[in-house]
Structure 1
Amino acid sequence: MNTLLFAALLVALLSHLMFSAMVKADWYDYYAIERVDYPIEIDPQVGGLTAMKDGRLALTVMHGDVVIYDPESETWDVFASGLHMPLGIVEEKPGQFLVIQKPELTRIIDTDSDGKADQYQTVYDDFGMTGNYHEFAFGPVVDTEGNIFVALNVASNFNGVFEYIRGEYSELCPPKDKMQQWHDFEKWKQGYRKKVTRMFSCAPYRGWVMKIAPDGEVTPFASGFRSPAGMGFDDNGRLWVTDNQGDWIGTSPLHHVSEGDFAGHPASLHWKKGWQKPHSEIEASDLLPLRKPAAALFPHGELANSPTKPVKTIAKSLFGLPEGEMLLGDMNKNHLIRYLPDEIDGTSQGTLIPFVGGNALGIGNYTMDFSSDGALWVGKVHMNWAGGEGLLKITKKKTPFLIESVTLHKDGFQITANEPIEALPDTVSITHHTYHYHAKYGSEKVDVTNVVPAKLTLDKSRKQLFITLDSLAENRLYTIDLGEMVSVNGKPLMGTVLRYNLNKRARDSQ
């Protein structure tokens, strides 16, 4: 064989092998995931997690403790005990925390600085409880003005209500004596349960986000939630809440929540001032004028089944992600998820992209927080459902090739990468669809439509890919698969499937 020809073939073969190796690269080439050794005497189900100002972590665990973990000394100390299903924690100042329990929001204080709580103060417990197992409480999160926000789950017709309840019983609900007959479960399942809505709110403010001001004044802030398991603020101080697929919720959403919003689940309307129609009689047409569309949608079974807490990203130099976006977990999927916002004329919408994932991450990623050194700490829980246990630490090894922003234009999408793109992708697959809004549990994808791009172009920097479309449809979830895109340095694109929830079309052309 000619020497020059052999050399050319060898170079081509090596290039192909290098390209194949890069395409097959996974997240662990870019991020390290460490499972923290967990002492046997500490409950490994983490319901709440916050990175403290001094570098330690405060965790709430399902057995009812607040535990302090010091990553430097690898020591664990119980700070407080005796709590009831604590699913969230915030550090107010050294030695003082806010914890949401199932029955109340509690301030827990170490007054003598001995490392143990000695004062438990009820901050807020003026919400209803019927004893139903599904009446969880989530949060807390605190805004820059000191207002505290918590979210209250609705109840499930898998149970009814108990004999003694806290708070008023709604006259719009089925009769209380009927709802108390669930203890004979086989009889309940075959009998009266069939007349009860899948989820219900028979005690005050189930299905609401509540705001507690620094002076103690409580405001019913927003309604329409089913199981709002995740809450967080973005860099602009805006509140974001995740919810879970179920009745009236075709697939799990992410909501940007402002005061007075209705997110779509009607059970909470029993506690809306002036509302007179029972949940059991409500139809979608009653709700559409009230309902605020979700900013993002997680296709059920693909991207997420039960999305959890949103956390804002930190400095790009520390973790490799642009500031201004958020990270979320999920109870059933072994990856994290990025949310890239794209507000159009005051309407919140944006893109969800899979992030770090795999067996080392696992499932049950319920609560997360960044420490000041750039580590992402992840707490796991399962509570008798799908999920996991333990504590993970995720740190950046090197920055991957990824999409930094997805912005909507009049003629299509502008997709910006963090490194120059080697070439236009061979194929870009695009579909859009919607979901039913109905009382049934969940929804299949509705009206799945294939879209052929009219044109693909790169700008001079090769970082911006423009996908021109002949038309754009509102109230549709666009799925854009970029395939095996690589950077000019041969790095594979990590997170190739983009899901943009288009609520409103852009008015300006690109």
Structure 2
Amino acid sequence: MIRSITALVLTSCLASADIWTDAFRIEKISPPPGVDAQIGGIATTPSGNLAACFHRGELFIYNPKEDTWKQFASGLHEPLGLLAESDSSFLVMQRPELTRIKDTDGDGVGDLYQTVFDDFGMTGNYHEFAFGLAQDKEGFIYLALGTASNGAGIREEIRGPWSAIGLDRKDMLNGSDWRKYKGRAGRMYSRVPYRGWVIKVSPDGSKWQPFASGFRSPEGLGFDKDGRLFVADNQGDWLGTSKVFHVQEGHFYGHPASLVWKEGWNRDPLQVSVAELEKLRTPAMGLLPQGELANSPTEPRMIPRGVFGGLSEQMLIGEMNSPTLVRFLPDPVGAVSQGAAIPFLRTGALGAGNHRLTFTPDGSLWIAKTHLSWAGGEGLVRVRLKEQASNFLAIDRVKLTSRGFSLGFTQPVDPESLKKIEITRHTYRYHAAYGSPKVDKRDVLIKGGATLSEGNRSCVINLKNTGDLKRGYLYTIRLPEVRSNAGKLLLGDTVYYTLHAKR
């Protein structure tokens, strides 16, 4: 066994007062010595230990009570997802396959490596990541396949069938001529199956299906308490900003490269009009504004029941580029998925690189970090709610009304602190270009100020003009200096509400 040294609590040296570290204890855990400390996947075992797979292919088990690491497996290829089936069996999403690793002789080391699923294509392009993993209540496994980038071509040897739709294969090869052809390939492309898709796989790998399409770089997947599958995708071509989707079987979510693997499809996606793609796509449940909330969202993870007080059973989403997480509160209107995103743990003490999340039975949130040569971080962080902070103030409900918005709070709010609420709205372009500026940004006027009810734990904000509620827009609700009756400042004072359907 290898004993690590747990660092002291990270104190905020960026400001004299940090409301997040006042409420949450953030500790950095030392990794096993000698490993690349980027962590691609993390999972909680039935016994309450942590399994973590590292960038260079090791899988270690961490015992939080003893503060020790023990190596379980090695030789993995860029693992970016992990599920613990038991204390001695793990599913790992490697770049080339979904693998089951088991300890069959009880010595605490994996000795059986089984290929569960590898029926997807690879071209050798650097951007063909394989992300995971999520498991539904029936035991099916969900993984996501990133598209290739025209920052590079492909290798001569590929795995899987080649789609003839698009640039000739000989012109797609890496080499000195690639610069001449890359523009015609599309910014991101899917020439082998099923790049840009979410895949559903049975636990033994005997059955699988392409589940949903239209993704660019779907970095994380997770289920909420109601069985909704959340998938986060990163800003780029066809994504004006980063997004979180409620993914449903058979739906298309906007990035056209993946359409070449849709049954019966025979057209070049680059030649399909935006208007036609708009009719095909299911819009994102949540828009995450670039540069403000999330630049590279990662894994969604539900807060377990009874953990973090009034935030219990809500969804958290990792964020790789910024020192923050995102909390997401769904607010479906009929069959239309939409809702509100709120910053969580936005503090320099957290650091960037927040890639994979898990909880242990003691109520600790564990955050595994990576950067994959982009912006990010490395290592493992533990987050716990401080005992004296159980009366923290946060928004625990956001609902669209016919006249504006209704917010719920975990504690009674001081009415005098609600006088500075501001709302703006904007949208993004859906187009082939990389990202989008904010479009049609404007202030939204409030009618008569916010109204409190339910013992000052519910706040209604009516708009002066209900015509300002428009489909396809993101509403930014800023609540500066809001505090509880006990004087606690609001944790997460900005709400980003994505509106697709009105009430």
TM-score by length of 2: 0.93
Q: Does 1:73 align with 2:66?
A: yes
Partner of 1:241: 231
Distance 1:321 1:198 in 2: 43
Deviations 1:402-432 (A, max 9, x none): 1110111111111111111111412211011
Distance 1:341 1:376 in 2: 21
Distance 1:462 1:327 in 2: 26
Partner of 1:378: 367
Instruction: Return 102-111 or 71-80, whichever deviates more.
Output: 71-80
Cα separation, partners in 2 of 1:395 and 1:260, compared to 1, 3 Å: same
Cα separation, partners in 2 of 1:25 and 1:126, compared to 1, 3 Å: closer
1:321-336 → structure 2 map (5 Å cutoff): 321-336=310-325
1:254 to 231, 234, 244: 244
| CA root-mean-square deviation | 1.4
Distance 1:164 1:155 in 2: 15
Q: Which structure 1 segments of 5+ residues have no match?
A: 1-22
Partner of 1:231: 221
Distance 2:492 2:99 in 1: 40
| 8 Å contact from structure 1 (residues 353, 499) kept in 2 | yes
Distance 2:128 2:455 in 1: 52
Distance 2:382 2:434 in 1: 35
Shift of 1:241: 0.3
Q: Which amino acid aligns with 1:372?
A: P
Distance 1:114 1:29 in 2: 43
Shift of 1:240: 0.7
Q: Does 1:139 align with 2:132?
A: yes
Partner of 2:429: 436
Cα separation, partners in 2 of 1:464 and 1:113, compared to 1, 3 Å: same
Partner of 1:217: 207
2:260 to 259, 270, 274: 270
Distance 1:390 1:468 in 2: 45
Distance 1:214 1:304 in 2: 32
Cα separation, partners in 2 of 1:25 and 1:75, compared to 1, 3 Å: closer
Partner of 1:110: 103
Q: Which amino acid aligns with 2:489?
A: P
Partner of 1:14: none
1:92-491 → structure 2 map (5 Å cutoff): 92-180=85-173, 182-184=174-176, 187-189=177-179, 191-214=180-203, 216-316=206-306, 318-397=307-386, 398-399=389-390, 400-424=392-416, 425-455=418-448, 456-469=450-463, 470-471=465-466, 472-491=469-488
Q: Which amino acid aligns with 2:461?
A: I
2:493 to 496, 502, 508: 496
Q: Which amino acid aligns with 1:235?
A: K
Distance 1:352 1:429 in 2: 16
Q: Does 1:87 align with 2:87?
A: no
Q: Which structure 2 segments of 5+ residues have no match?
A: 1-15
| 8 Å contact from structure 2 (residues 318, 354) kept in 1 | yes
| 8 Å contact from structure 2 (residues 216, 234) kept in 1 | yes
Shift of 1:279: 2.2
| 8 Å contact from structure 1 (residues 313, 321) kept in 2 | no
| 8 Å contact from structure 1 (residues 197, 279) kept in 2 | no
Aligned partner of residue 280 in structure 1, secondary structure: helix
| 8 Å contact from structure 2 (residues 133, 220) kept in 1 | no
Cα separation, partners in 2 of 1:72 and 1:24, compared to 1, 3 Å: closer
Distance 1:29 1:289 in 2: 47
Distance 1:235 1:105 in 2: 25
Aligned partner of residue 194 in structure 1, secondary structure: helix
Aligned partner of residue 21 in structure 2, secondary structure: helix
Shift of 1:282: 2.2
Shift of 1:493: 1.1
Aligned partner of residue 29 in structure 1, secondary structure: helix
Distance 1:335 1:439 in 2: 29
Aligned partner of residue 275 in structure 2, secondary structure: helix
Deviations 1:25-49 (A, max 9, x none): 5200000000012232233110000
Aligned length: 480
Distance 1:467 1:44 in 2: 46
Partner of 2:32: 39
| 8 Å contact from structure 2 (residues 171, 178) kept in 1 | no
Instruction: Return 103-112 or 396-405, whichever deviates more.
Output: 396-405
Cα separation, partners in 2 of 1:95 and 1:265, compared to 1, 3 Å: same
Aligned partner of residue 310 in structure 1, secondary structure: strand
Q: Which amino acid aligns with 1:209?
A: V
Distance 1:46 1:94 in 2: 19
Q: Which amino acid aligns with 1:309?
A: E
Shift of 1:494: 1.4
Q: Which amino acid aligns with 1:320?
A: G
Aligned partner of residue 279 in structure 2, secondary structure: coil
Partner of 1:9: none
| 8 Å contact from structure 2 (residues 71, 109) kept in 1 | yes
Shift of 1:229: 0.3
